[in-house]
Structure 1
Amino acid sequence: MTAKPPSIPADGTASSSASDQATAVDALLDQHMEALRAQFPLPDLEELARRAQRRRRRSRTAAATLGVCALAGALWWADPALRHASYAAGAHTISQVTLPDGSQAVLDAGARLRVDWHLRSRRVTLDEGRAAFDVEHAAWRPFHVDAGSARVRVLGTVFSVARDTDSATVTVAQGRVQVRADGEPQPRELAANQTVQVRAGRFSTTGDVPAEDALAWRKGVLVLDDVSLAEAIERIQPYRAAPIRLAAGAPVGLRVSGVFALDQPDALLDLLPRIGSVTVRQTADGTAWIEPR
């Protein structure tokens, strides 16, 4: 037979008995409360709350730090542009400018360049003419110059870049540069007193030059060392407003040497009748005609 659960009398006798037992347990706990607390100490709730708050703060700080590091890494990889500037020299004058990093640039007559300062690089684009640079050293921020199909990476130096329609010429006075050409698999490295020309994306000539003479124009001086009359006129023309013309029969192969101030280009014209069988005739508009004598 299945035992039946005890029935609860209608007069509440069972409830009274349970209440008495609970009262006895409470009394026993009260009697030994101090001993129980010594054996089983309760946690400090306020301290627990403080610890939890510190953990949450550390987690937020760690997350923020990771976020900042990730952002910094992304910016470093992207190398965003921070500053832009453009410079141009007058049609017949030389201009000297200080770039944002303290580097010096000298722009030959008619030269134009653009400067883009990035987070981890310095980039100059030579759009036209010739410019010389004295670069401030920054190991983590290399200095680059683009001149058409030629690209120059500076390794700490003084150098010049001249850009024509389809060519660029790099000349080093101090230090070293690395030159890349669009159509060449390997770059070339130049040291002081060396020059290279890039034409149509290929290296065309490399050689040694007296760099101080080649870059003397930075100081307003043109040094000619046994060059042809045609080349002498080509090199002095940018500093003269009116054109210089060679008449038919003029001795274009006449050799010319000398040091000339670029702000006095007619000094070269004055020299020619003394070194060759030519005369110089100037017209009303300032054009100088070099004619056979």
Structure 2
Amino acid sequence: MTEHTHSEAEYDAITDAAAHWCMRLHANDCTEQERQAFAQWRDAHPLHAFEYEAMLEIWDVAGDLPSPAPVVTMVRAKPQTPWRTMGIAAAVCALALPLAAFSGWHLGWLPNSYQHFESTDHVRTVTLNDGSQVELNLGSELTYSNYKDQRQVTLKKGEAFFSVSHDTRHPFIVKAAEGRIRVTGTQFNVWMYEDQVKVNLIEGSVLVSSNDDLPDDGLRLGPAMQASYRRGDFTPRISDTYDNDSSLAWRQGKLVLDDLALTDALPLINRYLDKPLMVADNSTGSIHIGGIYNIKEINGLVKSLPRVLPVYLTRNANGNLVVNAIPQKTPKS
């Protein structure tokens, strides 16, 4: 049986349909009937699902569009569609409309290049379109978009070490959780796990903000300084990097735990696990662990915990391994 080869017109029609469904499914008034119709369209051909996934990436990039100046209108009618929704929709449509994409670039609304990178079971070094180098730790993912007035990276998960090409007129911005790191050219590391972020500066300077909605550019870091924040923090916490800091040991394939309480060690360990390891209680979390481990063998570290610490492992209802302290025997009087 000969496989059907799509014509250019058929490909364009599939792209248009994918853009339509991407916008409808993100609309507040999308109905259940529309969702069912979309599912039928998506499942009708593998190319439909492929094109829709591509549209979702464009939608994700467009969600970071810079805010335009507000438009004042005297018309009082039904509530207007938010500018961000319109901007995202324009970005999705622009995939099939070169003129719209060209105008969007000059307005600073759309990137003229987009890259997506993931690392799974090995440390990966990638080159961004601006010439910057990025090392990705295991299980990390980021996107790069080049706008007219800025270069923008979104760290979706994991950890990355950046060597940024210098360009004072075209700042380099890394978004992580709800915060951002703004630079022009430097070397720094960004670690993210769930809602926690830590930035270590190696060379140059960066501005770190824990809240992307705040108007200022954040707090400045110099070499041998670090900033940390959680999602929702108003400002990041700034501190000096201590002499034996091991934050970059992952670049040599190592995880260094320097006599840390389990509560502090678990976010570092869990970065490499499919299901996060948990502690049963505060008493267990206060037990300390140390050592140097291969980042590809963290599952082995977990299994070895009962041999090196006074703990045993159980599994909770969600399938997570749980570390439990062995009860201390009370001496007989």
Task: Give the TM-score band, short-chain normalised.
Answer: 0.5 to 0.7
Is 2:204 the partner of 1:175? yes
In structure 1, the residue matched to 2:6 is none
Rounded to whole Å, the distance in 1 between the matches of 2:298 and 2:169 is: 43
TM-score normalised according to structure 1 size? 0.61
* TM-aligned CA distance change 1:148 to 1:242, over 3 Å: closer
Equivalent-residue separation in structure 2 for 1:163 and 1:103 (angstroms): 20
Q: Name the counterpart of 1:251.
A: 284
Deviations 1:151-185 (A, max 9, x none): 22214221122345555432212221122343374
- Partners of 2:117 and 2:141 within 8 A in 1: yes
Distance 1:178 1:220 in 2: 28
Aligned position for 1:202: 234
Counterpart of 1:85, as a letter, is Q
Q: How does 1:16-27 map to 2 (within 5 A)?
A: none
Q: CA deviation at 1:189?
A: 0.8
Could you say which residue in structure 2 is the equivalent of 1:100?
Answer: 129
Structure-to-structure mapping, 1:76-225, within 5 angstroms: 78=108, 81-90=111-120, 93-163=122-192, 166=195, 168-180=197-209, 181=211, 182-183=213-214, 185=216, 187-199=218-230, 200=232, 202-210=234-242, 213-225=246-258
**SS of structure 1 residue aligned to 2:297:** coil
- Given that 1:250 and 1:278 are in contact with CA atoms closer than 8 Å, whether structure 2 keeps it comes out as no
Alpha-carbon offset, residue 145 of structure 1: 1.4
CA distance in 2, matches of 1:148, 1:119: 24
What is the correspondence of 1:269-280 to structure 2 with a 5 Å cutoff? 269=302, 272-273=305-306, 275-280=308-313
Which amino acid in the other structure matches residue 147 of structure 1?
Answer: A
Tell me the number of residue pairs that the alignment of Structure 1 and Structure 2 aligns: 217
2:272 aligned to 208, 217, 239, which one?
239
Q: Is the CA contact 2:170–2:184 (under 8 Å) kept in the aligned structure 1?
A: no
1:193 counterpart letter in structure 2: A
Shift of 1:247: 4.7
Matches within 5 A, 1:3-22: none
The residue type paired with residue 154 of structure 2 is T
Residue 139 (structure 1) shift: 3.5
Distance 1:225 1:287, change over 3 A: same
**How far did residue 262 of structure 1 move?**
0.3
The aligned residue for residue 331 of structure 2 is none
1:230 to 250, 263, 267: 263
Q: How far apart are 1:220 and its partner, in Å? A: 2.0
* 1:246-284 CA distance string (max 9 Å, x none): 45697321111222110011453365345432245799x
Q: Distance in 2 between matches of 1:118 and 1:288?
A: 44
Q: Kindly provide the amino acid, as one letter, of the partner of residue 264 in structure 2.
A: E
Q: Which amino acid aligns with 1:205?
A: R
Unaligned runs of 5+ in 2: 1-104, 327-333
- In the alignment, structure 1 segments of 5+ residues that lack a partner are 1-74
TM-score by length of 2: 0.54
Counterpart code for 1:118: Y
- Whether the aligned pair in 2 keeps the contact of 1:155 and 1:178 (CA below 8 Å) is no
Percent of residue pairs identical: 29
Aligned partners of 2:282 and 2:170: how far apart in 1? 54
Larger gyration radius, structure 1 or structure 2: 1
Shift of 1:133: 0.9
Q: How far, CA to CA, are the matches of 1:238 and 1:165 in structure 2?
A: 9
Cα deviation digits, residues 222-254 of structure 1 (max 9, x gap): 121221113323321232345534456973211
Q: Provide the secondary structure at the position in 1 that maps to 2:166.
A: coil
CA distance 1:109–1:250, shift in 2 (3 Å)? farther
Contact 1:107 1:132 in 2 (8 A): yes
RMSD, aligned α-carbons: 3.5
Q: Which has the bigger relative contact order, CA under 8 A and spacing at least 6?
A: 1
Structure 1 match to 2:101: none
